[in-house]
Chains A and B, each alone.
Chain A
């Protein structure tokens, strides 16, 4: 009898598709000034006051019966900048949420998560650790580490100690790898299934393989990796990218990592044509989510706040006092794939899995619209598909030779459609 085959896949988010995602932009400050960061307006000035947070929570919970808040569960997400810079505020917010959910007998009581994506720098500090202990059963925390020290420090650098006259922060030359990696063991002890996010820009391509393997060696079993959506790509990047991914495929398969480690670049479900009617759903969840910033303005996603936008004005859909202007949400909730896509995407033979970010689409659009899909990653997606095909063909053959293919096909997980 053959060994029971397991191929690790990237995990769905908690209550995927059934949870409302509500995001507090608690600060626009961060210790780092990562070179690829889409948050072009990070600053030290905009920190969320408690009164704004409380009024927002009251608004959300007061509207329990509205269709926007009818979902079964809720993920309260905290984002920055670096959210843990505001751990005292966050602790107060979370206590208030828990108390109010109980007091109101709200349908989200005991069906909530607090979610964080952190740079990991102050993860070990007492205030953060106390918070984790207090909320352990309702927490999801991801630490971002980009790979090897060289790869990580190319982009993820400390900010300069002094902000400019507008409070905007600038990058320094000091990398942050050592300050982050020291906290990885503690994080993995507390969140053994924790995954990290890796971002690839043009200069990072040569370091993909070694970086993913390095993260595996740190004990991180799930690497969620993506190329940036912005138009940063240079001629030939797609071919270099394909080559790196094929090297990575060889390393994962030959080293047997596929059984216990996942890398989101490789998926059986990408690279197929998409039916214009049956596969017409939007990729991105903007509009189904709700974000609030320090001024109490509401957004369809944090990517529509001013600090995320290079050119366009913020897409504010309301504020904590007047509530949501539902007219401003209508474009988001009527988006579909084909209406926003150019013909080349609709006809693309390898369309599935090609992602987009509604915020980047808006920022790059020629008019004030969310219906113009940015296609800067087109060649990168096609390169990924070629390498992905190589990965699966090689892996299938290996399984066949080991007499495990049928077992794998019979037991593999049903995959839900990916959504941002």
Chain B
């Protein structure tokens, strides 16, 4: 069931997930489109999440933006000035590099795998900031099996930093390691299922990455006679039309529905890019998610040595990193 409407206010709105935003020219969503988008959200009971660019919006947008309860996703250092005193706890700041100043309660840190390794100590320092840290690896498709041990060791090191904070009575939140400890079912991106994206052109997309692909003329491979890059799934005039929407849902993903790496993003854009099917995760996505899952298990076991902690959560020991390798056992 749809719950969230993501509104990209500008073509250069900040990328906040796996896909980089390759669009460099400003193209603001027309204010009439914005109003219609908000109306759509209100009529369908959707929580609106505005995605801001790194430049200020014209004054007339402010009152429209604030005409409805919302969450703001904005580039680091560009906190939107809206004149509204109420700041949402759910607002999200997005950074592509490490900064000591975190303005929002939620930080999305977008790094390549190698940047993440280089900045591991600075990232660990952020755990104590009080903000929820969402680390998003932007080149997941480059991950190789030779890096498994490196990633495992990194998470083990971060487990040590997190454990120290728990010992001090804090409750740090770091998506790669602490989310799985509190989840008893899948909690994924759910693009096209619980959220949908409205782009500045007034069309809906499963997520911003599909809009980027369309704008960058990435062929959607649906017609070899007349190649097209149309990735839209409806517009504000005709509303939503998501073909094969069932394939975006967990119960139609043969690998994921039996998996317990509940913190996995299950990114359908990466699925589409790497396996060519929305419902099938790549080897890279599965392996990385399972390394995180197993590290979460280790952290949970260490925390429990200090006392009761989430007793209802069980993360069993497993001997594979990719469910595909043991699919016949499911």
Interface of A toward B, CB cutoff 8 Å: 306, 309, 311-315, 326-328, 330-331, 333-336, 339, 365-372
Partner among A312, A333, A369 whose Cβ is within 8 Å of the Cβ of B247: A369
Q: A334-B254, A335-B254, A336-B254 are in contact. Are A312 and B221 (CB under 8 A)?
A: yes
- Asked whether A334 lies within 8 Å of B252 as measured between CB atoms, the reply is no
B13 interfacial contact with A, CB 8 Å: no
CB A284 to nearest CB in B, in angstroms, measures 15
Which B-chain residue is minimally distant from A316 (CB atoms)? B276
| Contact residues in A for B279 (Cβ distance below 8 Å) | 331, 339, 369, 371
C-alpha gap A42/B275 in the complex (Å): 28
The yes or no answer to B101 lying at the interface (CB within 8 A) is no
B324 touching A368, Cβ below 8 Å: no
Residue from A315, A333, A336 with most neighbouring chain B CB atoms (10 Å):
A333
- Assuming the contacts A330-B324, A333-B324, A335-B254, asked whether A314 and B224 have C-beta atoms less than 8 A apart, the reply is yes
Q: Which residues of B contact A339 (CB under 8 A)?
A: 252, 254, 279
Residues of B within 8 A of A315 (CB): 276
Known: A311-B225, A333-B324, A365-B244. A327 touches B254 (CB 8 A): no
Taking a contact as CB atoms under 8 Å apart, the answer to whether A327 and B244 are in contact is: no
Q: How close is B322's CB to chain A, nearest CB, in angstroms? A: 10
A354 to chain B, nearest CB (A): 20
Minimum C-beta distance from A90 to chain B (A): 29
Whether B327 lies near A334 (C-beta < 8 A) is yes
Residue of B whose beta carbon sits closest to that of A280: B254
Q: Are B276 and A334 in contact (CB under 8 A)?
A: no
Does A371 contact B282, Cβ atoms closer than 8 Å? no
Beta-carbon contact of A312 and B324 below 8 Å = no
Contact B220 A368 (CB under 8 A): yes
Alpha-carbon separation in the docked complex, A309 to B225 (Å): 10
Contacts of A313 in B (CB 8 A): 219, 221-224, 227
Is B283 at the interface (CB under 8 A from chain A)?
Answer: yes
Note all chain A residues with C-beta closer than 8 A to B223. 311-313
Which residue of A311, A336, A366, A368 contacts B277 across the interface (Cβ within 8 Å)?
Answer: A368
Q: Within 8 Å CB of A333, what residues of B?
A: 324, 327
A371→B224 contact, CB < 8 A: no
Query: Do residues A370 and B224 form an inter-chain contact, with CB atoms below 8 A?
Result: no
**A371-B219 in contact (CB<8A):** no
Can you list 22 A-B pairs, Cβ within 8 angstroms, ordered by A? A309-B224, A311-B222, A313-B219, A313-B221, A313-B222, A313-B227, A327-B282, A327-B283, A327-B284, A330-B280, A331-B276, A331-B277, A331-B280, A333-B324, A334-B280, A366-B244, A367-B222, A368-B220, A368-B222, A369-B279, A370-B277, A371-B279
* Minimum C-beta distance from A348 to chain B (A): 18
B219 touches A334 (CB 8 A): no
* Top 9 A-B pairs, shortest CB-CB distance: A366-B243, A331-B277, A313-B221, A334-B254, A331-B280, A367-B244, A313-B224, A327-B274, A327-B282
A372-B219 Cα distance, complex, nearest whole Å: 20
In the bound complex, residues from chain B placing their C-beta under 8 Å from that of A334 are 254-255, 280, 324, 327
Give Cα A326–Cα B222 distance, bound, in whole angstroms: 22
B323 to chain A, nearest CB (A): 9
Question: Across the interface, do A328 and B275 meet the contact criterion of CB distance under 8 Å?
Answer: yes
Complex Cα gap A313–B220 (Å): 9
**A311→B324 contact, CB < 8 A:** no
B35 part of interface (Cβ distance < 8 Å): no
Are B275 and A331 closer than 8 Å at their CB atoms? yes
Check A311 against B275 for contact (C-beta < 8 Å).
no
A306 CA / B299 CA spacing, docked (Å) = 50
Contacts of A309 in B (CB 8 A): 224
Shortest distance between the CB of A43 and any CB in chain B (Å): 14
> CB distance A369 to B222 under 8 Å?
no
A363 → B minimal CB distance (Å): 10
CB of A367 within 8 A of CB of B324, answer no
Q: How far apart sit A335 and B247, CA to CA, in the bound complex (Å)?
A: 12
User: B278 an interface residue at 8 Å Cβ cutoff?
Assistant: yes
Which one of B224, B243, B280 has the greatest number of beta carbons of chain A within 10 Å?
B280
Shortest distance from the beta carbon of B287 to any chain A beta carbon, whole Å:
12
Contact of A327 among B227, B252, B275 (CB under 8 A): B275
Point out the residue from B244, B274, B275, B276 that lies within 8 Å of A372, measured CB to CB: B244
* Chain A neighbourhood of B265, CB < 8 A: none
- B244, A369: Cβ atoms closer than 8 Å: yes
